[in-house]
Amino acid sequence: RMSEVSKVMTKADIKPKSMHRAKKWSDDVENLYRFQQAGYRDEVEYKQVKQVDEVECWPETGFVKKLQRRDNTFYYYNRQRECEDKDVPKVKVYVY
What CA–CA distance (Å, rounded) separates 14 from 61?
27
Q: What is the pLDDT along the chain (96 residues), one digit of tens a residue?
A: 455 555 555 455 778 899 999 999 999 999 999 999 999 999 999 999 999 999 999 999 999 999 999 999 999 999 999 999 999 999 999 999
By residue count, the chain amounts to: 96
Distances (CA, A) of 6 to 43, 47, 70, 88, 89: 7, 10, 20, 21, 22
What CA–CA distance (Å, rounded) separates 12 from 46?
13
| Torsion of Cα atoms, 18 then 19 then 24 then 29, to 10° | 100
pTM assigned to the model: 0.85
